Amino acid sequence: MISGKQTHVRYLIISMLFVATCFSYGDRVALSIAGAAMEKVLSLDPVKLGFLLSGFSWAYVLGQLPSGGLLDRFGSKRVYTISIVCWTICAFLIGFTGYLAAGWIFSAIFGLRLLSGLAQSPVFPGNGRIVAAWFPTAERGTASAIFNASQYFALVAFGPLFGWLTHTYGWQSCFWFMGLFGFVLTLVWLKTVYNVKDHPLIGQAEIDFIERGGGLVNIDGAAAAQSRGTPLSWGGVRQLLQQRMLVGIYIGQFCITTLTYFFLTWFPVYLVEARHMSILRGGLAAALPALCGSVGGILGGVCSDTLLRRGSSLTFARKAPIIAGMLLSVTMIACNYTNVQAMVMFLMSLAFFGKGFGALGWTVIADTSPKELIGLNGGVFNLFGNIAGITTPIVIGYLVKKTGSFDDALIFVGSAALLAIFSYLVIVGEIKRLEFQPPPQHAAQG
């Protein structure tokens, strides 16, 4: 720790979260960009491709509760590091499945995507937990929006790259790229991320600033030791599920994540198959709406924190951008009524911007979680949200196969945005931090 000097190490931390989450989503984007080529090589119909695209999310969802508990029990840095290493190995191995017998390729990729989903399950609960520790309440919306915007920026950064790699070297090259740079990411992560009070570059003034503003700087210190044994209990999960506010937030996240997985899985395929773009051009075209989503994601957080600093209630400051963003996302349905590619890209960019602007769920979780259960609540929240990672690719696959077009798929995704608005307006109510009620001593011993 550096004494007597004003530091801003928290900005380094959020930059690292942004980069790490970009690579996490880049791993997911790789399969969607390569999907059009894989359809031909593996003779996949839309339903089979939908299952392949959803394979990641099956294990990702199942891993949320254990990963949230592990984060609370063992700390963010240790669990996150293991996560990066494991998903990197999975990505590298997927590249080699192309050398298997044709009948085994689908099963091998599906199995490795399951393992990758399990490995990546701590990423977003870990992000939320690190932000809760490193940022005061008035900066938390912007910080959460920055790491959340990485999911859109990943499509900007990796979409054109993977389109070029697939076109030039084949679909396996995307996964070898992710494997190679994943190991580099691990080394940088280990040298950059620490607990607040343990960071070698931080000054006492910054620690005091974070702590006075509501940052949970001891989350992996004394607080973690005190809560050891409680985060993994089902009693904590029951307490979370009994809160109407949290249930509304969980439902809203499921709906918002439905939009996320449309853009991450089927959107590049939509551009190639419904809008007749080449794989290379589709990868490039997918980057524009994703860039708008990234900008929208950061602006949504900035807008929310600005409202809070100007005296708006926490409830209004968080809900207003969410509702406005979801209304903008509904505009994607209008793509069904135009054949002009420029108009399609404009509408999708507007919808993606809105999705990013309204994606403040992780900020709300940091604002509302009981201090002892931030990791666990992040896990439950992400579990509900990423059920959409299972349902969205499969539902869209069935709709496309049944109708031969993407029209109903866009209506399905747009309707999810409307349901998110309903959840935040009607179910959530006041946004406030909850208190954890420890179980009675005799019950804990029994």
**Interval 315-354: pLDDT, tens:** 999 999 999 999 999 999 998 998 888 888 889 899 989 9
Mean pLDDT, range 111-135, rounded to an integer: 85
Residue 151: pLDDT over 80: no
Q: Cβ distance 78 to 380 under 8 Å?
A: no
**Which tokens sit at 83?**
């996560």
Q: In the chain, how many H helices and how many E strands? A: 20, 0
The mean-pLDDT minimum among 54-63, 112-121, 303-312 falls in 54-63
Residue 356 confidence (pLDDT):
87
Residue 86 class from Cβ within 10 Å (0-12 exposed, 13-18 middle, 19+ buried)? middle
Q: Where are the alpha helices (DSSP H) in 201-278?
A: 204-212, 222-226, 234-241, 244-261, 267-273
Q: Which amino acid is at 290?
A: A
Residue 223 confidence (pLDDT):
46
User: Which CATH superfamily hosts domain 9-195+211-445?
Assistant: MFS general substrate transporter like domains (1.20.1250.20)
Q: Cβ distance 186 to 84 under 8 Å?
A: yes
Please write the tens of the pLDDT for every residue from 222-272.
445 454 444 456 677 778 888 899 999 999 999 999 998 888 777 877 777
Q: What percent of the chain has pLDDT over 70?
A: 85
Q: How far apart are CA 328 and CA 121, in angstroms?
A: 29
Residue 440: pLDDT over 80: no
Residue 255 confidence (pLDDT):
93
Q: How far apart are CA 328 and CA 351, in angstroms?
A: 5
Q: How far apart are CA 41 and CA 166, in angstroms?
A: 12
Residue 415: pLDDT over 90: yes
Q: How far apart are CA 326 and CA 324, in angstroms?
A: 6
Q: Cβ distance 267 to 286 under 8 Å?
A: yes
Residue 220: pLDDT over 70: no
Q: How far apart are CA 70 and CA 122, in angstroms?
A: 8
Residue 417 class from Cβ within 10 Å (0-12 exposed, 13-18 middle, 19+ buried)? buried
Mean pLDDT of all residues belonging to the chain: 81
Q: How far apart are CA 77 and CA 16, in angstroms?
A: 12
Q: How far apart are CA 321 and CA 364, in angstroms?
A: 12
Q: How far apart are CA 274 and CA 397, in angstroms?
A: 13
Q: Cβ distance 114 to 55 under 8 Å?
A: yes
